[in-house]
Structure 1
C-alpha cells in the first residue's frame, strides 16, 4: 500500500513539474483584454501612444540644441582707458605719467539673420572700443555696434558675413509657466553651452534693476557669467528671450535667471534698424498694480489688473474714453494681472499703433480701441522730478534747441536748492537732452558712484548747474 502511495505522489510531482516547465518555457503568455459591459462606445480624451510620443518629444532637447548651438556666439568687448599720473609727470616730464589700460568684458550673442545681425545685451558691449565675435566654429569677426537700448538692455551688432546659421523669433506672449526651455550661451568663456529648465514665471519685475525692463521671463535653467546676451529657446529651437540677469549672492547661478522676452527684443532691434533709436509708446494712463489690499480700499471686486488713477489729457487713453478708477484686465488678448504685464506689452508697440483694451468700470466689462502716443511725460524717481517734453512752439518761445521741462518735484530736498517747476533741463553730463526718453536713458546707464552734472535754465532763462549723487 505504501508503495502505491509513493508511486502516485511521484507521478503527481512529475506531472506538476512538466506542466510548470511547459507554462514557463513553451506556452506563450496570455493577453487579457478588459471590455466595458456597456454597449455604448466610450470616448477617450487622448490616444495613449500619442501622449507618450508627445512626452518624449517635449523632453528631447537634441533638436533644439542642434538648431541653436551654431547661432549663439561669444562676444568680447575691449575698452581702453587713459590714466594720467601727475606725480610721474612732475618728476619725469610731461607725458611720462600717461598710461593706457585695456579692460575686457565677455558675454554671448544670438545671430538672428543669415547676413550677420546679432542681438546681445547692452551691458555686454557698454563702453566698448572694439567688439570681437567668435562663432561656435572658432571663426572670429570684428563687429560693428549698430545701436543700443539701455532701458531694455538690448544691443544690435553686425558682422560682415553671409549665409550664417540663425535663430528665428517665437511669440513670447504664447509661452506658459512650466514649459521646458533651453539657455544657450558662453558661460566662463567656454564655447556654446546648453542648459535646460522650465519657465518659472512671466512678467517678473526686478526691483533695483537700474531702469531695465520690468517684464522678465524667469527660468530655472542654469545661467552663469558669460551667458548674458545668449538665447533662451523653446524645445523647437525658437527664440523666446535674451538671457540678461541672474538672482545671486555669489556671482554665480543659484536657482533663477531672467530673460528679456523675445517680443520686446524683436521690437527694439527692428526700431534700431529702421529708425536708429527705440520708438516708445504710451497708453496715457497713470496708476498701479491692483491687489487684494488695494481693491479692498477702493471697494472693488477685482484683485488683478491695472488700476487707472489718472488719465493724461489729450493722450490716446483720454481720446478713447478711459477714465479714472477703470481697471484694465486685457490688451489685444494678453491678460493683464500686474503692472509688469502692461509695461511689457507696451514695450512691444510703437506710437501710432492701435490696441484693443478690455477694462472694468463699475463692475461691468467694456472695450475700447486706443491709439498709442509718443512718450511725453516721465517720473524720474532717482532725481525726484516729474518731466515733460517741450514741443517746437515752446522751444521757439524759449529760444532754445533742446530741453525738457520740470512739471513736478517729488523730492522735497530739491526745494531747498531753489529748483522750481518750470525749470528746463538742457543737458546731463555734457549730453544734450531732447526728450524724457533721453533722461531715462542717461539715468539707466549711470554707473555706481557716478555723479550727474545737470544743467538747467531757471525761470529767468539763466543757466544753473546742479550735481546729483
Structure 2
C-alpha cells in the first residue's frame, strides 16, 4: 500500500496499530473511513508512523536466556574401524576418543522458580549447562525432562527464585498475518530481537531441526543460536519456541519454525509432575492425509482430514467405534489435515480425560468421545538380557503398545524387539529396533520363547528378522 511515496508494509495489521492510526486521522477523514476492514486504515500523520515494539521488548527480553552447553562425544579414531575385518582384529580397543563439544542456544523462563524451556538439540546429553540472563546473572542448570520427537527440553536453574517469566499464549488462536517478535542469541552475539509475522500455520511433515511434528512458520529472522528462543505475540506472551530454519546458506531466508506454546505447556506440566520423558496419549493408529483423489472417493467436497490406515486392537479409537478407512476430520473442533497435526492436537491435551473427535464413518459425520490414555503395558514386556554364548549381548523385550510407542514400531507389530545389540548379537548383524520373528525356525511371540530357543546347544544359528518392514535371515556359526 503506497501513500505519499511511503511503502507501508503491514504495520497496521494488528488491532492496536490500527487504533493508533485511527486516533491520528483528521476529523473529516475519521468520519468517512469505515473501521472494517482494518487494513483499509491508512496512517495520515507523523505520529501514526512513529510506531515501536519497545514496550513488548522491555516486557519479554528479561525472560529470554542464553544457554551454553558442553557435552562429551566420542569420535572414531580411524575410518578403518568401520571395517568388519578391523573389528575382528582389534575389537573395541581404542576405537573411539572423547572430545568436548560446545553448543550455543537460547531458552525461555516460564516460572519464577527457574523453569526454562529450550530445544533438546541444544541441551540433550550435555554434561554441563550454563544459563545467562539478560541482566548477566548466571545459573547452572539441570535437564529435568527431554523429548527428542518434539525437540523440546525442560531445565531447572539451580538456586533460582524470583525470576522474570513469560506467560503462555493460546497458540491455537494465532492467525497468519499476526505480528510476532523472535528473541534469542543468534551466532552468540548477544540477545537480539527480530520482527515479522506468522507466515503460515500447521506446517507438518517437515524434516526441520530434530523435531518431526507441527510448527508455526514465521518470517522473523531466526539464525543459528536462536534455537530454543522465544516467539512472542504483541501482548508479550510466548507463542512458540523457535527451533529451526530452512536455508541453503546457513543464514535466515525468512522461513523459520517454532514449536507451538500449547505443546510447550503440556511438556512443562509433565516436567513439574516429575516425568523425565514426555508421555503422549496413545491412539495406536497410523494414517495418511486425505488428498484430492481420496476426498473424491469419500465424498468430501475438499481434501481434509486423516484416513486411518492401520489400528492396534487395543486402540481407544477402536473402542469408540472407529475402523480402518474412517477419516478423522477434527480434534475438539480443531481441523486436522495430517497425521502430525492430529498427534500434536492430542499431545497438547495430555493424558487423562477425553477428547471429542469428528469422524467420517460409513459416509456419515459422527462426533465421538475418545479417552486419552497412556500406552498399555499388556502383555508385560519382560526384558531379557542374554548372557549365554548364543546372541550374547542382546537385550530384548516382548512387544506391547508401550514398547511400540517407545521404539516407533508399526501399530500391528508383534513378537520380540531388539533394545540393545552388543558382542555376539552385534556381530551377528542385529540392531536396535529389529523385530525377531524366529530363532532356528522356532517362532517368537515373547521373550520367554526367545529364552527357550537360545537353550539350543547347536553351533549353527538362523535368526529371522523384520527390519523396517523388510524380512531377512541372519545365519552365523559360533
What TM-score, normalized by structure 2, do the two folds share?
Answer: 0.68
CA shift, 1:391, in A, is: 2.3
| 1:333-381 CA distance string (max 9 Å, x none) | 21223333212201213333301112233554321111123236xxxxx
| 1:60-102 CA distance string (max 9 Å, x none) | 422221111111111001123577979xxxxxxxxx9998642
Q: What does 1:33-432 align with in structure 2 at a 5 Å threshold?
A: 60-81=52-73, 101-159=99-157, 160-209=159-208, 212-274=211-273, 275-375=275-375, 390-392=378-380, 395=382, 403-405=397-399, 422-428=414-420
CA shift, 1:455, in A, is: 7.6
* Match in the other structure for 1:23: none
Q: Distance in 2 between matches of 1:47 and 1:330?
A: 29
Q: Distance in 2 between matches of 1:325 and 1:82?
A: 47
CA shift, 1:109, in A, is: 0.6
1:76–1:307 CA distance, 2 compared to 1 (3 A):
same
- Larger radius of gyration, structure 1 or 2? 1
CA shift, 1:46, in A, is: 5.7
* Match in the other structure for 1:6: none
Secondary structure at 1:178 match in 2: coil
Q: Decide whether the 8 Å contact of 2:399 with 2:416 is kept in 1.
A: yes
CA shift, 1:314, in A, is: 3.5
1:68–1:315 CA distance, 2 compared to 1 (3 A):
same
Q: Distance in 1 between matches of 2:383 and 2:74?
A: 41
* Match in the other structure for 1:16: none
Q: Decide whether the 8 Å contact of 1:71 with 1:167 is kept in 2.
A: yes
Q: Distance in 2 between matches of 1:99 and 1:155?
A: 28
CA shift, 1:245, in A, is: 0.6
Q: Distance in 2 between matches of 1:226 and 1:297?
A: 47
Q: Decide whether the 8 Å contact of 1:132 with 1:141 is kept in 2.
A: yes
Secondary structure at 1:303 match in 2: coil
Q: Distance in 2 between matches of 1:32 and 1:258?
A: 43
Q: Decide whether the 8 Å contact of 1:286 with 1:312 is kept in 2.
A: no
Q: Decide whether the 8 Å contact of 1:63 with 1:235 is kept in 2.
A: no
1:180–1:368 CA distance, 2 compared to 1 (3 A):
same
Larger RCO: 1 or 2 (CA < 8 Å, sep 6+): 1
CA shift, 1:226, in A, is: 0.2
Q: Distance in 2 between matches of 1:82 and 1:324?
A: 45
1:145–1:46 CA distance, 2 compared to 1 (3 A):
same
CA shift, 1:398, in A, is: 12
Q: Distance in 2 between matches of 1:251 and 1:266?
A: 30
Q: Distance in 2 between matches of 1:84 and 1:339?
A: 38
1:296–1:239 CA distance, 2 compared to 1 (3 A):
same
1:210–1:257 CA distance, 2 compared to 1 (3 A):
closer
1:257–1:44 CA distance, 2 compared to 1 (3 A):
closer
Secondary structure at 1:324 match in 2: coil
- Gaps of at least 5 residues in structure 2 are 1-25, 79-93, 387-393, 402-412, 423-429, 455-462, 469-478
Q: Decide whether the 8 Å contact of 2:106 with 2:227 is kept in 1.
A: yes
1:61–1:363 CA distance, 2 compared to 1 (3 A):
farther
| 1:412-437 CA distance string (max 9 Å, x none) | xxxxxxxxx7541242367xxxxxxx
Q: Decide whether the 8 Å contact of 2:384 with 2:396 is kept in 1.
A: no
Q: Decide whether the 8 Å contact of 1:58 with 1:180 is kept in 2.
A: no
Secondary structure at 2:382 match in 1: helix
Aligned length: 377
Moved more, 267-276 or 109-118: 267-276
What TM-score, normalized by structure 1, do the two folds share?
Answer: 0.69
Q: Decide whether the 8 Å contact of 2:285 with 2:312 is kept in 1.
A: yes
CA shift, 1:156, in A, is: 1.1
Moved more, 319-328 or 211-220: 319-328
- Gaps of at least 5 residues in structure 1 are 1-30, 37-41, 87-95, 377-388, 408-420, 431-450
Secondary structure at 1:294 match in 2: helix
Secondary structure at 1:395 match in 2: coil
Q: Decide whether the 8 Å contact of 2:298 with 2:363 is kept in 1.
A: no
Superposed CA RMSD: 4.1
